Amino acid sequence: MANGHKISIETWQRFQRYVQSFRTSEAGPKGMRLAVTLAVLLIGINGLNVLNSYVGRDFISAIAAKNTLRFVGEAWLYIGVFALSTVAAVMTRYAEESLGLVWREWQTRQLIDTYLKERAYYQLEEGGQVENPDQRITEDVRAFTTTTLSFALMTLNAAITVLAFSGVLWSISPRLFIGAVVYAGVGSLLTVLLGRRLVGLNDQQLDKEANFRSELMHVRENAESLALLNREVSLRARLVDKLNEVVSNTRRMIGVNRTLGFFTTGYNYMIQIMPALIVAPLFIEGKVEFGVITQSAMAFAALMGAFSLIVTQFQSISNYAAVIARLGRLGEAMENVCSTSCSPIHVVEEPGHVIFDHLTLTSPDGTVYLKDLSIEIPRGTRSLLRGQSGHAKAALFKAAAGLSCNGSGRIARPGPEGMLFMPERPYLPKATLRALLTPAPPAKPAPDEDIIKVLRQLHLDSVLQQAGGLDTEHEWGSTVALNEQAMIGVARVVLAAPEFVFMDRLSVAFDVKQAADVLRLLKERGITYLVLGKSDDQMAHFDAVLDMDRGGSWQWRTVAKVREELAARDAG
C-alpha cells in the first residue's frame, strides 16, 4: 500500500508539472482559449441534458396519457433539444482534438530539444538509463496529452453533472440520491483495491511491447546481412523470447482484469435496475407520473456515471499513470544528463592545434585505458594513433569528440567547424546527395562544380549517376556499397574543409590503395588528419605516431624516429 501511495503522489506531482509548463509556455494562451471553449460547451451540454430529462419525462407521460396534442409538441421539442445537443457534442470533440494537438506539438518539441541538447540521446543510450526513449517521445506523449484532456473533460463533466442532476434526483427521491452516493463510493474503493496492480503491469507492458518491436525492426534493417549469415535460428530465439515476455506480462494483466471485471460488470448492471426498484413503488402508489420512472433512470445513470469515474475508467487510469511515470523518468534522465557534468575531462575550443593535456581515460569499472597523455598536435602534423588496446583508441576518439564520461584531464581542439569526426560506420540518412555532402548548419552547400570535382577525385562518378543527380532522395544504406558510403563521408569532409579531421580505422571500409588515395587528397586540401589505425598502416602518409600500450602507457614519436628504431632493430 505504501508503494501505491508513493506512485500516486509522484504521478500527481509530475502531472501538475507538465500542465503548469504547458500553461505558462508560448502555446499556453491558445491552449487556454480552447480550454475555456471546452468548459463552456460542457456546461451547455449538461444544461441540455437536464432539459432533455424533463422533455423526455413529459414526452413519455404524454404517451401514457394518450394526449396527441401534447405528444406532438413534446416530440418537436425533443427533436430541437437533440439538434442542439448534436451541435454542442461535435464542437466539443473538435475543440478537444484541437487542444490535444496543440499540447502534443508543444510537449514533443520540448522533449526533442532536450533529447538533442548536450547529446542527451547518446548519454541515455550509453548509460541505459531509460528504455525506448523514442517510444516515450512519440506514443507516450500522444497518449499523455489526449488522455489528460479526456480525463479532465470527464472530471469537469462529472462535476457539472453532479450539480445539474443532484437536484433532479433529490426532488424525485432523497433515498435514491443517497443510495447513488453510497453505491458509487463503495464501488470506487473496491475497484482501487482490486485493480491497483495494473499500474505497474501497464508500465512493464509498454516497454516489453517496444522491445519486441525493436527486435523486429532490427531484422528489417539488417535483412540482407542476416540472410547471408543464415541467422534465422538465433533470430527466432530472440524474437520468441521477447514475445514470451509480452505474453507473460499480458497474462498477468488479463488475470487482474478478470477479477476486476467480475466486480465492475456486476456494478454496472445494478445501476440499470436500482432507480426502478426505488421509484416504481411510488408510481404504483400514484405519487408520481409514469414518465418520472424514465426521468429517474436517466438522472440516476448520469449521476452514477459522474460518481463512478474510477470504476468505469480504472483500466484507462492505470495505463495513464504508467504513461506519466515513463515520461517522468525520461524527462528526469534527460535533465540529469544536461545539468550534470558527466566527466572531469575538460574540452575547450582552440584553433590551430589539438592538445591532450594530462589526459587519463578509464572504463566505468576503473580499468585504465590511457594514462596521463600529454601531447600537442599542431596543424599540419598528420598523426597515426595505434595500439594494442582497441578500448584505448575508441575512448580517445570519443573523448576528443566530447563523448567520453570516464577519465580526467584537458583537451583543446578547434570547434565544430574546424574539426570533424568520421566514425567507423558512416551515417547516411535518407536524403539527397547534396544534403549528405553539405556540412552542418550554418554552412551552405558547395557549388555543383566543386561537388562533382570531389566526387570524381574519390571515384564516386558511378554513385552520382546511380543517384540520378544531386537532388534525388535515396535510402543510401541499401543503395551503395559500404566503401562507397564511407567515401561519401570523406567527400563531405573535403567539401567542409576543416582544420582537422579525426578518422576511425580507415582499413575497415577501404583497401590499402583507397585509404592512400583518401589521405593523399586530404593532404592536398590542407586538412590535417588524425587516424586510428594499426601497426601495419602505411607510415608514408603520416608525420607522427602515438603508440598506446596495454596498461595505459604510451609513446609519441615522429615517423622518422620510428623508422630509425625499426632500422636499428633490424640491424641488431
Q: pLDDT (tens digit, 9 = 90+) per residue, 89-108? A: 899 889 888 998 999 999 88
- Does 149 score more than 70 pLDDT? yes
pLDDT tens digits, one per residue of 59-81:
888 887 888 888 888 888 888 88
**Do the Cβ atoms of 355 and 375 come closer than 8 Å?**
yes
Rounded CA-CA distance 76/437 in Å is 71
Q: Which residues partner with 422 through β-bridges?
A: 503
- Does 498 score more than 80 pLDDT? yes
Region of poorest pLDDT, from 5-19, 70-84, 371-385: 5-19
Residue 427 burial by CB count (10 A; 0-12/13-18/19+): exposed, middle or buried? Answer: exposed
Q: Percent of the chain having pLDDT more than 90?
A: 17
Confidence tier at 494 by pLDDT (50, 70, 90) = very high
Beta strands in 318-457 (DSSP E): 346-349, 353-362, 368-378, 383-387, 407-413, 419-422
- Identify the residue whose cell numbers are 598523426: 383
Q: Describe the strand order of the beta sheet including 407-413 as a list of residue ranges.
A: 346-349, 407-413, 353-362, 368-378
Confidence tier at 493 by pLDDT (50, 70, 90) = very high
Q: Select from 524, 553, 556, 526 the least CA-distant residue to 543.
A: 556
Confidence tier at 527 by pLDDT (50, 70, 90) = very high
Where in the chain is CATH 1.20.1560.10? 2-339
CA angle 319, 184, 303 (to 5 degrees): 100
Phi/psi region, residue 352 (left: phi>0; alpha: psi -120 to 50; beta: rest), is left
Q: Residue 249: CB partners within 8 Å, gap ≥ 6?
A: 201, 204, 205, 208
pLDDT at 537: 62
Q: Percent of the chain having pLDDT more than 70?
A: 89
Where in the chain is CATH 3.40.50.300? 346-571
Rounded CA-CA distance 501/499 in Å is 7
- Provide the grid cell at 190: 473496491
- Does 1 score more than 60 pLDDT? no
pTM of the model: 0.64
Confidence tier at 389 by pLDDT (50, 70, 90) = confident
Please state the rounded mean pLDDT for residues 499-522.
87
The DSSP H or E segment spanning 418 is none
pLDDT at 404: 63
**Do the Cβ atoms of 458 and 518 come closer than 8 Å?**
yes
The full length of the chain comes to 572
Region of poorest pLDDT, from 368-377, 408-417, 480-489: 480-489
- Provide the grid cell at 282: 411510488
End-to-end CA distance of the chain: 79
- Please tell us whether the domain made up of 346-571 is placed in CATH 3.40.50.920: no
Rounded CA-CA distance 110/338 in Å is 14
For all residues of the chain together, what is the average pLDDT? Answer: 81
Q: Residue 195: CB partners within 8 Å, gap ≥ 6?
A: 256, 257, 259, 260, 314, 315, 318
pLDDT at 3: 42
pLDDT at 7: 46
Rounded CA-CA distance 149/151 in Å is 5
Q: DSSP class of residue 132?
A: -
383 CA to centre of own chain: 40
Please state the rounded mean pLDDT for residues 155-170.
74
Superfamily of domain 2-339: ABC transporter type 1, transmembrane domain (1.20.1560.10)
Q: Which of 134-148, 491-505, 554-568 has the highest mean predicted lDDT (pLDDT)?
A: 491-505
Phi, psi angle pair for 558, to nearest 5°: -75, 160
- Identify the residue whose cell numbers are 573523448: 399
